[in-house]
Structure formats: C-alpha cells, structure tokens
Structure 1
Amino acid sequence: MAAISASEITRLQTTLRRLLGSPSLRVNAPPRPGLSVEISAHDEVIGTIHRDEDEGEVSYAVNIIVLEEDLPPA
C-alpha cells in the first residue's frame, strides 16, 4: 500500500466534499508515516482512505464506519 501525498489529500478532500455534498468533510494526513489517512466530519473520524497502485493505475479505497449507536431509532 503506497503512501498518499499532500497533493493527493487535497484533491481527495475536494472530490469527496463534492461527491458526498459535505463541505465540512476533511481528509487528514496521518500524524506519522505508516498510519492511515483519515476522513472526518464535524471533527469526528468517520473512516479511512487507502491508496492502491496496480500496473500504473492508482485508485483509492474509502472505508466509512457507521456505528449502530449513531443510527436514528428504527
């Protein structure tokens, strides 16, 4: 798994804000090398982004975590 550059973080944040319609969404650089890039909304971490490069093509996997306790009542 390759590290995500500062430029990629900025571009991912712009794209995810547009796609998800959430201007408060932030893509945060890891505090130290080797850790995951995190996605946060309203200062709460909601997931991670992982970069993959295969045969020269780059893709990003976004994993968003939703806790059952954060869901509205049934």
Structure 2
Amino acid sequence: MKGEEITRLQSYLQRKFELPELEVRQRQKQEDSAEVYISGEFIGVVYRDDDDEDLSYQFQMAILEMDLD
C-alpha cells in the first residue's frame, strides 16, 4: 500500500478510534499491507484484501499477556 490509500486508512482509523496520534506507515518489503503505530509504538498491521469483488481491509493486532498488566 502506498500514498493516498495509506492516507485514507490513517484518516479512517484516527476517526474510528478517536486517536489523532495513530499513524499508518508503508512497509518496506510488503505491498499488500501497512503498519499501524500509536505515538510511535507499533501495534499491528492492516492487510489489503482484494481477492474477491469488493476491496476490504483487515486489521490484525497481537496482544501479549504481559501487556495486560
């Protein structure tokens, strides 16, 4: 993902989660996904799914047990 697509995803996620500090960044070696950060901390990956008729995106975030404390 590049340019306008990343900008649109970032704007959507910032509004949805009410987090203006959320940032979506292009990945170096992957063109079907982008990294998501909050205040500079990596939190997950957004994947682009265009395998069927409709374009969609999936957000994946791993939560470690030690982070719950």
User: Residues 33-44 of structure 1 correspond to what in structure 2 (within 5 A)?
Assistant: 33-34=30-31, 36-44=33-41
Change (3 A) 1:70 1:31: same
Q: Please tell me whether Structure 1 or Structure 2 has the larger radius of gyration of its CA atoms.
A: 1
Unaligned runs of 5+ in 1: none
Is 1:12 aligned with 2:9? Answer: yes
Alignment RMSD (CA, Å): 1.6
TM-score by length of 1: 0.79
- Range 5-14 or range 63-72, more displaced: 63-72
Query: How many residues are aligned here?
Result: 68
Is 1:61 aligned with 2:55? Answer: no
Q: Select the structure with the greater relative contact order (CA < 8 A; seq sep ≥ 6).
A: 1
